[in-house]
Chain A
């Protein structure tokens, strides 16, 4: 199977290892991965600010760039949900080459399409799973605490297939971290308060590392953790599934020169 790898713009530029880990996980499972280099951004920042006209050409580009693939895989619930649920307006009377239905979030692809039972990796740590809202409530990767319809939790199911990994129980299973794209800057004070509360929940639940399917949530919380020199680590689920060692919050070099 050959898949087109759809790498969120900020992962490409700031968290390349998340995409490398995604390539590694998929390749080990016998999937041929291709990264069409013309890709940039799905247009979510523009769309979520209300600037549809600015998002539209990006949606059209994405459809054309990924046209050759039968499956497109993305290590982000948020970007996948943008394509699947918010591209409709941009393709009225225009072919999306199946992009909206063939794009999968990484965990969804591993769980539903490849049905992976083992990753052959070990991660002997206490993990707090941060459910990213778009993965949870837009893609329905899991069972949101508000709804009463039972659903499989795909991300935690995959994590349970990692040897020695221990998932901790959070007080609030799926509260938003407050990233929210431009919300993080637009409503900075509320955003920071939300992020701190998430971090406290993970810490109080005994997690050594916070793992999520969306690096954008983690970028926000990592920023808070590093500012306060907090020991809680953050890792993308792809990094755990690829067998990366634990990344601790404080071991990361600080940006810029003091």
Chain B
């Protein structure tokens, strides 16, 4: 659960991809979610309009962030909540700790929150002697296994049900060899009920914070956020400042997009609204609500013209489900809290050197951009990151050199033709073992193209005076279009054999 050492993506991916059966299982599981999402999106005629609207609302909110944050703060305070501001992860964790200490809390139940993962809250609280239980089923599985989530919506998508059975057998005492999802879920439910009842404070994430009303909205499928926020007297809600939306009516746009994009459901099972602390029927406050607004690098992203749109992310995970690389390399290959396309955009902001391989862990297919419910131009941002990394000197020297050499070559057409001729002939006549060796990465699992004797430019010189063959019924070239130059003239001009 602590900070993982950053392994470069290609190395980590190679291990995951190395198990072809498991990779295909992982790929199919996520593709299944992607297909569900497609069906759900298709069922709404105004889907593209919704995306456009959501993107517009987010852009507007990001542009007026300071105003909306203050508006939210005063509305939330007016509703009876305590509002805290944290500049970074460390400050966030300290705020949580001080609230818990103030009330003598030892046991915390936490529903899913990527922000607390980002802040590494669990290991921090554990180091302070506080017991934290993740109450989302997937997160609980991952927590019991001392792992980290591999997906922001489906934290345990990389774990097979048989493996969950082993984990539960070890920790919850379920029958050995059990793998029936219903049985295992029942066991987890029973186990978590006890934890909920014993919890002295509940921590939740926030999906949306409404500036107009000072309310927060949490979307879950298991109802665990409701239990965590309702049973213990203290509710701490941690949110990144980008979770803000201006008005309550804007919420409708996002709730329609979120669950459909995330899991292909029309709406999450629970969409819980919290406006101030809970009260009894007489209106007396019966608990406390603490909202922590966390920056942790977000204003830095906001300042960047190139990456600002990434703040619109509603953490639906659709870009992960659709990403052909993510599906085959697994979430842990990104070594970052948020994996996949959006993670590859966000992670290098805090540590460009550590995460320099992520913007390159992408074939630039653009599927993420088309699937994103708030229209973040993800693959263009990844391309922009590559530029940024190169300008920071974070591109490997051999690649920098190769690109410089390529550019020099392509600026000299005659040299290009000559090198092409040499290359093709070298490929034709060099013994195979001198071509296919361990430094030829392409050739380790693929053949190189069969080199033709001549290039197209050679053919062009030989044939441009000729009328290419025609098909009956189609227009012939007019006599006037045929060039007067003949092969001999061109052949004489050739200084290198092409």
Contact = CB atoms under 8 A, between A and B. Distances in A.
Contacts of B472: 120
A227 B420 contact: no
B430 to A, nearest CB: 6
B457 A37 contact: yes
Interface in B458-489: 458-461, 464, 467-477, 481
B471 A28 contact: yes
Contacts of A12: 420, 455-457
B363 A223 contact: no
Contacts of B42: 148
A189 B370 CA distance: 25
B448 interface: yes
B403 A256 contact: no
A257 B442 contact: no
Most interface-central of B23, B410, B428 (chain A CB within 10 A): B410
A50 B447 contact: no
B411 A14 contact: no
A219 interface: yes
B477 A27 contact: yes
Nearest to B388: A50
A161 B13 CA distance: 42
B362 A180 contact: yes
Contacts of A61: 410-411
Given A120-B472, A183-B364, A190-B329, A223 B447 contact: yes
Contacts of A145: 38
Chain B interface bracket (under 10, 10 to 19, 20 to 34, 35 or more): 35 or more
B182 interface: no
B455 A137 contact: no
Which applies to chain A's interface (DSSP): helix, strand, loop or mixed?
helix
Nearest to B443: A223
A193 B407 contact: no
A49 interface: yes
Contacts of B364: 48, 133-134, 180-181, 183
A45 B449 CA distance: 18
28 contacts: A12-B420, A13-B424, A15-B452, A20-B456, A23-B460, A24-B469, A32-B481, A35-B456, A35-B460, A40-B409, A51-B390, A58-B407, A58-B411, A120-B472, A133-B364, A137-B366, A137-B369, A138-B366, A144-B366, A148-B48, A179-B363, A183-B364, A189-B18, A197-B328, A227-B446, A254-B450, A255-B448, A257-B431
Question: Which are the 9 A-B pairs with shortest beta-carbon distances?
Answer: A180-B363, A223-B446, A50-B386, A50-B390, A137-B366, A176-B365, A30-B475, A146-B370, A54-B407
